[in-house]
Structure 1
Amino acid sequence: MGGRGAMRTQEARRRIAIEAARLISETGLRDYRQAKQKAAARLGIFDETSLPKNAEIEDALREYQRLFRADDQPRILRERREAAREAMRFFADFEPRLVGAVLEGTADAHSAVCLHLYTDQPDAVIALLQERRIAYDEESRRIRLDRDTARDYPTLRFSAGGTPIDITMLPYDLLRQAPLDRVSERPMRRATAAMLDALLADA
């Protein structure tokens, strides 16, 4: 009985992960916890132990894109990466690092280009946007530095050529310390401009 129960739980996790991936791809929902809770509710599964891990949702998202978005996702990903390259050149003085879906390869039409900028003078970034007459929205984002430490940092959102750009400004001394990834809870993967150029060349 225990074996059958484990199999049912595993199957439920798989169904929730697939439905969460569909929600993420089709609606632009990027909060993985919210996506799996919505998916579970739609499927009528209310057992917390059946909720998949974020990494399972990420795998399901890649599979969904491969099966149902093969015609347009690679093109959109390349466009986003090219936009990221331009944005990184624009912010070159602030040690930009590309993070998130555009780097990981799961970007779609809903995805923003997400950059981390490293500076002890966030006002300098704002001044650059104002100088170029780029309209932006200012928010804050909680970043997990390690398992015990999370802090809020300023975030700017704007559009460049129709592509949403999302930048988080971090203190310069964090350049050597990658924040924790929300999916894997391990140090976040980051790419320099040179690493992004290599990705584009390989593609």
Structure 2
Amino acid sequence: MATPESRTRQLLAEEAARIILEEGVRDYGLAKRKAAEHLGVDARRDLPANTEVESALLERSRLFATADTRREYRDRLRAAALVMERLSEFEPRLVGPLLLGVLQPQAVINLHGFAETVEEVIIRLGDRGIACHTGERQYRGGGAGLRVPYLSFRGPDDTEIELTVFPTDGIRQAPPSPIDGRPMRRLGLAGVRELIAESEANDPASAD
């Protein structure tokens, strides 16, 4: 039998998942604090772990899936595959919510790429007439953590591509996930194509 404390954690996780999917909040910590505020729970109490929020997120995505959201999910996967094909020399990998099967309000596609320098990726995009914004991400682990540059640019079908550029040897070891601290899941182009095929096979409405 669930205790009041465990039931509260579950409710907080479910509300945080709703906030992520409906309000477009991408930070799990912020989503949990907003969930506590919405439910009138002291945010200083034991909030659910990120893994609990992720489980609730996946369950909500499954329960509330419609023909339109399934179609949009496939469209984003196709957009990811197209970008990955065009930047194949950087061996891109799909990461993040889309890989998990989560369709966020923002049409953001997260990729990891690998190059000697981020400048060569910027030049390659420029050759294709693609302007990009630059930024930096920090991953946990190893003292001050790992700082990695990323590029943001417009992709197919009004998507936003966020390409984090690791050194070429970074393909051998994924950075720790902010969700559970384990190496992030990464998926190559062949795997993305398999996801598209599986989505089409599991959705009768996809024969359009």
The TM-score with structure 2 as length reference comes to: 0.88
Over the aligned positions, Cα root-mean-square deviation in angstroms equals: 1.8
Gap runs ≥5 in structure 2: 200-208
**What's the offset of the Cα at 1:133?**
1.7
Q: Which amino acid aligns with 1:25?
A: L
**What's the offset of the Cα at 1:53?**
0.9
**What's the offset of the Cα at 1:167?**
0.4
Q: Map of 1:60-79 to 2, 5 A cutoff?
A: 60-79=56-75
Partners of 2:155 and 2:131 lie apart in 1 by: 10
Matched, 1:125 2:126: no
% identical aligned pairs? 39
**What's the offset of the Cα at 1:131?**
1.6
What stretches of structure 1 move > 6 A for 4+ residues in a row?
none
Partners of 1:101 and 1:186 lie apart in 2 by: 16
Matched, 1:201 2:194: no
Partners of 1:90 and 1:16 lie apart in 2 by: 41
Residues 73, 148 of structure 1: alpha-carbon distance in 2 compared, 3 angstrom cutoff: farther
Residues 179, 45 of structure 1: alpha-carbon distance in 2 compared, 3 angstrom cutoff: same
Gap runs ≥5 in structure 1: none
* Greater mean deviation of Cα atoms: 156-165 or 68-77: 68-77
C-alpha deviations, 1:23-66, integer Å up to 9, x for none? 10111111001100111112111154431111111111122222
Are 1:143 and 1:152, in contact at CA under 8 Å, matched by a contact in 2? yes
Choose from 150, 163, 182 the match for 2:145.
150
Residues 85, 113 of structure 1: alpha-carbon distance in 2 compared, 3 angstrom cutoff: same
Are 1:77 and 1:108, in contact at CA under 8 Å, matched by a contact in 2? no
Residue aligned with 1:184, SS: coil
Matched, 1:55 2:51: yes
Partners of 2:153 and 2:31 lie apart in 1 by: 25
C-alpha deviations, 1:84-122, integer Å up to 9, x for none? 100111110011111011111112332411110111121
**What's the offset of the Cα at 1:10?**
0.6
1:95 counterpart residue number: 91
Partners of 1:97 and 1:61 lie apart in 2 by: 22
Residue aligned with 1:167, SS: strand
Residue aligned with 1:17, SS: helix
The TM-score with structure 1 as length reference comes to: 0.90
User: How many residues were matched structurally?
Assistant: 198
1:27 counterpart residue number: 23
**What's the offset of the Cα at 1:134?**
1.3
